[in-house]
């Protein structure tokens, strides 16, 4: 599975705790992250993470583009609900794309843990069906 990891500034320490706690699960998957979040994850865990630009500089949109191509299977986006974000339209677009393409999305630590535990037990295997449908031509 391809997993996107994004965290607003005040949520980055929480993301590091989450990734550290679930490192054995995450190590089995391909990880993507916005710039600073990805760098902090690499430094804290040594996991391989493909980094994009920081969120305000277009990283959210880069991940959104992958979602629109069904190249992301799970998004963990630890948002800061108490701070205004200058790139809020990009954040909303990424959340909307997750809904449109039926990509599981966690925006808080509780949901992130449920998704990661579900991932570990095979509850997200339905995403392989999406990939199979993309690779199979549709005859009209």
What's the CA gap between 48 and 19, in Å, rounded? 12
Question: Whole-angstrom Cα distance, residue 112 to residue 108?
Answer: 6
Residues whose CB falls within 8 Å of the CB of residue 82, separated by 6 or more in sequence, listed in order: none
Query: How is residue 22 annotated by DSSP?
Result: T
Dihedral sign of CA atoms 100, 83, 5, 25 in order: negative
Does residue 60 have an active-site annotation? yes
**Residue with token string 């799970």:** 74
Q: Check 60, 99, 132, 135 and give the catalytic one.
A: 60
> Where do runs of H (alpha helix) occur along the chain?
12-21, 23-26, 35-45, 59-68, 88-100, 109-121, 126-135
Annotated binding site: 8, 12, 34-37, 54-55, 87
- Per the annotation, binding residues for substrate are 8, 12, 34-37, 54-55, 87
Q: Which residues are catalytic?
A: 60
């Amino acid at each position: 599975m391809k997993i996107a990891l994004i965290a607003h500034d005040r949520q980055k320490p929480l993301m590091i705790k989450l990734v550290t706690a679930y490192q054995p699960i995450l190590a089995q998957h391909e990880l993507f992250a916005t710039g600073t979040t990805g760098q902090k994850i690499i430094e804290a865990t040594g996991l391989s993470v493909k980094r994009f630009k920081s969120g305000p500089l277009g990283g959210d949109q880069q991940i959104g583009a992958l979602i629109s191509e069904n190249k992301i299977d799970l998004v963990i986006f630890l948002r800061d609900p108490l701070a205004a974000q200058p790139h809020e339209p990009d954040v909303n677009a990424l959340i909307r794309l997750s809904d449109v393409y039926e990509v599981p999305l966690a925006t808080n630590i509780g949901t992130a843990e449920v998704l990661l535990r579900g991932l570990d037990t095979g509850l997200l295997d339905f995403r392989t069906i999406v990939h199979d449908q993309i690779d199979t031509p549709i005859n009209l």
